[in-house]
């Protein structure tokens, strides 16, 4: 017995585990395509992880990766699956049936994650169940063939080999048994891996393609609005590096808990209004649109927005006042909260007063910047409520409104360390010049944005190198629910300079100077940037 024969093929065992995991996922994706399209185990596990990850890690992911946080999560899950699958293959080779047990445990966990997702049905357990069986069979097959290939073989004594009569009269070279077993293992590995890739990738592509509503959204003709937003003269400055007054849809920030964007056909969409109401109501998309649409310019802000951050955007929304929709159901006395629910199970707690006040343009939006809502921003219907951070007001893919109380119900983020009510803290931001980008000496504008939803910005002030505060020039606001642009012409001299900005709202309140973290109800602090002048 040679050393190479005796050595355990850990690498091949690990590869066997990875191929078995691929078979697991491929079978699960195929069954999901047939019986439960939303029951993909890897997506269910990813969504489950999003739910259980502690708040500091969530904030780190958002601040570090921005809109790519979900892609990074999927990559991380993929890497974790590779490592775990390789370990299962090694365990099955070294200590059977531990590898099979590990794969079975993965199936149980993925099945549990699938069944806990919103919209899960009894059929949702089939994809992880069938995937587990397929993965276990593949693992047993590959490891058994690997073991036969690498098993030590008895060798006849040299004298016996010399004296024995030839058994191959044609003088052909006989094939060694180990060679046959090696080819059998490699053949099984290649065929299983190839089948897994074709079936798994094909099922995922077909699932995505057949559930895509791109053509439906493209052809959706929304009625003309009864009233439109007028952009006043002087509302926008043409300054390089300054954010546009209206944020393009493709550039609008996205922060939500959906690992994959939900696909909801407008023809099947329903909104249920229940809870503490006189009459529960259910509306179709056509019912909602028939109530009449109006345009509203509203700036949205995410609670995860750091001082000077980009998780804020301004759009012209098309929709129906929420107060009109709730009036149909008749909220009862004692109610103080509306619990909104997304199709993916996400919930938000919105003060009832914020969505019934005649002076607040809280709406159910169906359009954004002149087109139907983008899929990433809630198609076909979402909430938009001025003056509240998005996590308590801007539910996407909306399906239910429950009139209730803060004492009785809590929403998704409340037990995760955030306030149940979250009015936006007004703020200001420097867009240009930026830290790390030197500018030439001479006359140059310092410019940025400021927002104080429902109140409005009175003025913006800047201090250079801790000098006296200088008042910036403001753009003409569209309304009190949108941000404004501002700029200050500066005679920049060579060297490095600190520039600080603060805002004052129309109630006479000055932006809070002290820094506060994002949790539990939004960051505060004046932004200070270091500018290098050549």
**What are 338-376's pLDDT values in tens digits?**
999 999 899 999 999 999 999 999 999 999 999 999 999
**Where would I find the H helices in 95-176?**
98-115, 126-150, 158-163
- β pairing state of 312-321 and 363-368: antiparallel
The per-residue pLDDT for 173 is: 42
This prediction has a pTM of 0.77
Q: What is the mean pLDDT of residues 402-415?
A: 96
Phi and psi at residue 166, in whole multiples of 5°? -65, 135
Backbone angles phi, psi at 173, to 5 degrees: -85, 125
Q: In this model, does residue 1 exceed pLDDT 50? A: no
Letter string b/e over residues 148-158, b meaning 16 or more CB atoms within 10 A of that residue's CB = ebbeeeeeeee
| Torsion angles phi and psi, residue 37, rounded to 5 | -65, -25
- State whether residue 477 is helix, strand or coil: coil
Cis bond before residue 134 (omega within 30° of 0)? no
**Got the DSSP string for 382-447?**
EEE-TTB-GGGT--SSEEEEEEE-TTT---TTGGGT--SS-BPPPEEEEEES-TT--B-SEEEEEE
Say whether pLDDT at 156 is over 50. Answer: no
Given a cut of 70, is residue 325 above it in pLDDT?
yes
- Report the pLDDT averaged over residues 314-319: 98
Q: What digits encode the pLDDT tens for the residues 246-269?
A: 999 999 999 988 877 888 999 999
Asked which of 169-178, 200-209, 432-441 is least confident by mean pLDDT, the reply is 169-178
Give the DSSP H or E segment for 281.
strand 281-284
Q: What is the pLDDT of residue 59?
A: 76
Q: What is the pLDDT of residue 111?
A: 85
User: pLDDT category, 35, cuts 50, 70, 90?
Assistant: confident
Residue 183 has pLDDT above 90, yes or no: no
Q: 10-35 vs 126-150: helix axis angle to the nearest 10?
A: 160
Dihedral angle, C-alpha 174, 176, 179, 180, nearest 10 °: 70
> Who has greater pLDDT, 169 or 507?
507
| CB-CB contact of 397 with 268 (8 Å) | no
Computed over every residue of the chain, the mean pLDDT equals 89
Instruction: Give pLDDT, residue 160.
Output: 44
Q: Is the pLDDT of residue 208 over 70?
A: no
Percent of the chain surpassing pLDDT 70: 91
Pairing mode, strands 270-275 and 398-404: parallel
Residues 498 and 530: beta-carbon distance below 8 Å: yes
Which pLDDT value is given to residue 214? 85
Cis status, amide bond into 433, omega within 30 of 0: yes
pLDDT digits (tens, 9 = 90+) for 433-466: 999 899 999 999 999 999 999 999 999 999 999 9
The predicted structure's pLDDT at residue 357: 94
Using the predicted structure, report yes or no on whether residue 39 has a pLDDT greater than 80: no
């Amino acid at each position: 017995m040679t050393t190479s024969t005796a050595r355990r093929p850990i690498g091949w065992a690990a590869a066997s585990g990875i191929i078995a995991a691929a078979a697991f996922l491929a079978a699960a994706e195929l069954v999901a395509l047939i019986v439960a399209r939303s029951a993909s185990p890897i997506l269910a596990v990813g969504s489950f992880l999003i739910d259980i990850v502690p708040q500091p890690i969530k904030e780190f992911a958002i601040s570090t990766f921005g809109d790519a946080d979900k892609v990074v999560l999927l990559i991380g899950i993929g890497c974790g699956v590779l490592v775990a699958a390789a370990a299962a293959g090694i365990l099955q080779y070294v200590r059977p049936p531990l590898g099979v047990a590990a794969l079975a445990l993965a199936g149980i966990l993925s099945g549990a994650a699938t069944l806990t997702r919103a919209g899960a049905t009894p059929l949702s357990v089939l994809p992880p169940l069938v995937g587990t069986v397929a993965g276990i069979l593949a693992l047993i097959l590959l490891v058994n063939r690997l073991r036969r290939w690498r098993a030590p073989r008895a060798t006849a004594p040299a004298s016996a080999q010399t004296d024995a009569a030839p058994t191959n009269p044609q003088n052909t070279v006989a094939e060694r048994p180990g060679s046959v077993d090696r080819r059998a293992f490699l053949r099984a590995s290649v065929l299983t891996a190839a089948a897994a890739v074709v079936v798994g990738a094909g099922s995922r592509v077909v699932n995505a393609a057949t559930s895509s509503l791109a053509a439906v959204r493209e052809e959706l003709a929304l009625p003309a609005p009864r009233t439109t937003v007028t952009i006043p003269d002087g509302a926008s400055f043409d300054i390089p590096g300054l954010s546009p007054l209206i944020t393009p849809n493709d550039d609008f920030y996205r922060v939500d808990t959906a690992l994959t964007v939900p696909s909801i056909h407008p023809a099947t969409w329903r909104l249920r209004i229940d809870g503490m109401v006189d009459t529960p109501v259910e509306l179709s998309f056509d019912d909602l649109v028939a109530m009449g649409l109006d345009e509203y310019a509203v700036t949205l802000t995410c609670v995860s927005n750091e001082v000077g951050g980009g998780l804020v955007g301004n759009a012209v929304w098309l929709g129906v006042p929420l107060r009109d929709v709730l009036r149909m159901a008749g909220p009862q006395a004692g109610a103080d909260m509306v619990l909104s629910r997304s199709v993916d199970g996400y919930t938000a707690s919105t003060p009832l007063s914020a969505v019934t006040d005649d002076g607040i343009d809280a709406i159910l939006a169906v359009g954004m910047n002149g087109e139907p809502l983008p899929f990433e921003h809630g198609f076909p219907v979402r909430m938009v409520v001025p003056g509240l951070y998005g996590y308590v007001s801007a539910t996407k893919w909306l399906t239910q409104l429950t009139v209730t109380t803060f004492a009785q119900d809590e929403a998704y983020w409340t037990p995760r360390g955030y306030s149940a009510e979250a009015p936006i803290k007004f703020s200001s931001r420097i867009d240009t010049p930026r830290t790390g980008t030197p500018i030439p000496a001479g006359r140059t504008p310092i410019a940025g944005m400021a927002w104080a939803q429902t109140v409005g910005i009175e003025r913006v002030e800047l201090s250079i190198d801790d000098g006296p505060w200088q008042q910036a020039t403001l753009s003409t606001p569209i309304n009190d629910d949108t941000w404004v642009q501002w700029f200050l012409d500066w005679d920049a001299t060579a060297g490095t300079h600190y520039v600080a900005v603060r805002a004052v709202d129309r109630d006479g309140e000055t932006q809070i100077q002290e820094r506060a973290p994002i949790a539990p109800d939004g960051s505060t602090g004046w932004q200070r940037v270091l500018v290098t002048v050549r």
